[in-house]
Each structure stands twice: as structure tokens, then as C-alpha cells.
Amino acid sequence: MALHWLVQGCQPGDSLLFHYSGHGSRQRNYNGDEVDGYDETLCPLDFETQGMIVDDEINAAIVRPIPHGVKLHAIIDACHSGTVLDLPFLCRMDRSGRYVWEDHRPRSGVWKGTSGGEVFSFSGCDDDQTSADTSALSKITSTGAMTFCFIQAIERGQAGTYGSILNSMRSTLRSTGSGSSIGGSGVTSLLGGGGSGGGVTSLLGMLLTGGSDTGGLRQEPQLTACEPFDVYTKPFSL
């Protein structure tokens, strides 16, 4: 209902924002529409009884209805979130900042773009990676690593273009040390712990995230869009 509310009645000139920070997952795709064979998902509080929110549903709710003149940005800090909006194009960028646009349009021909508007999604990691909660960035309290780096890039004046903000986020995460408590986007709460987590939850978190706190944060924030563009010349603006 909230997703539908966001886009309902939008008019040319509107700028919409969808921010999700929480659990993400993925499940096997059976209709052949996914390049990697998996649908990406968001896991709301009641997902164990009501199911996960699948990327096809998110795309239908907040991507395809966007009309000409309307802009939507999604900030998704969750595991397996690279293509969670099912947008047609992914900016595949290497460590030097060079990039190519990968075509993720379904082979079935199903339309995953907009109704004329613009949609951009910054996500915490690639589809096969996990997103961390860590205290290594703020030095004070545990935060979503991707959300922290996104805000920091803006505050430091490194968000002039889509390319500069993506590079800033990635370089900050690469340089972050390993002295952090990583929970794979909140694994400890899934395991029943609501606080800082003890030795058991930390160990389980490492197992569930592939031991990702043994050498820094290995997640790589991703940018997807409804159409390819030059990420180093297009100004970033919410």
C-alpha cells in the first residue's frame, strides 16, 4: 500500500524518494526473466508469514507507473539488493571508475522501464553480496554501511554526478577496516537478538555473510537505471 501511495497522483516536476534499510534476500526465478536466475526480494517484518516482496512486484508498483517529467530515486540498503527494482540497466563499474551499462531487460520482452519518467536506484551491494551493519564507519554506533556512505558522500561534496557519488561510496567501503561487527544487514535481529549481539550471534553473522568481517567490507554499492546515461556528466539531484 505504501509503495502504491508513493507514486499515486504524481505530476510532472515531482521528485520521489524511496528509502529502505533492512533485510533483503533472493529466491529462484522460474520464468527466465533474470540474468542470474534469481529474483531479488525485500523482507518486511512479517515476511515469514506473509512472504517477501519480490522485485517484479516492486517494479510494477513504483517503476512502471512513473510518467514523463517525474523522477524517482531509490536508496536500498539491504542484502542482495543490486537489481531489486528490476530496472533494465545496471552500471557495471570497476575499481578505477570505468564502467559499462549491462542490459538486464528480460528475454521474455516484458517491459521493466517507466511510463516516460526517470528512475535511479542506489543499492548497498551486488545481487550475490550482503550488506553490512557496522560501527567501523561512525566509530560510535552500528549503522547501515551503504546508508552512511551515501550521506557522507553528499556531506563531503562528492555527489555532483551519479558517477562521483558511486565512486565515493565504493572507495569509502573499500578503505573501511575489519574491526567491525558485521551482521549482514541485521542478521543478529533475525537470530533473535535485538541489541549489540554476543559472540554467538557474531559468529553466526559471519557464517551467514561468508565471514565478511575478515578483511574489510566486501560489498560493492550498485547503480541501476531505466535508461543508460553518462554517469560522470549527469548531475545528481534529489
How much is the pTM?
0.83
Residue 79 annotated to the active site:
yes
Burial of 20 (0-12, 13-18, 19+ CB in 10 A): buried
Break the chain into its structural domains and give their ranges.
15-187+214-225
Residue tagged active-site, from 4, 10, 19, 23: 23
Answer yes or no: is pLDDT of 143 > 50. Answer: yes
Residue tagged active-site, from 10, 43, 79, 226: 79
Residue 104 annotated to the active site:
no
Alpha helices in the chain (DSSP H): 2-7, 47-50, 55-62, 145-155, 162-175, 187-190, 199-208
Pick the more confident residue, 205 or 153. Answer: 153
Using only C-alpha atoms, what is the Rg of the chain? 17
C-alpha distances in Å from residue 94, one per residue of 98, 103, 119, 135:
6, 17, 23, 26
Answer yes or no: is pLDDT of 231 > 80. Answer: yes
Please give the pLDDT value at position 212.
Answer: 37
What CATH number belongs to 15-187+214-225?
Answer: 3.40.50.12660
Answer yes or no: is pLDDT of 31 > 80. Answer: no
236 DSSP assignment? P
What is the rounded average pLDDT for all residues in the chain? 85
Q: What is the pLDDT of residues 83-139, one digit of tens each?
A: 999 999 999 999 999 999 999 999 889 999 999 999 999 999 999 999 988 888 888
Q: What is the pLDDT of residues 177-225, one digit of tens each?
A: 544 433 444 332 333 333 333 333 343 443 444 433 334 568 999 999 9
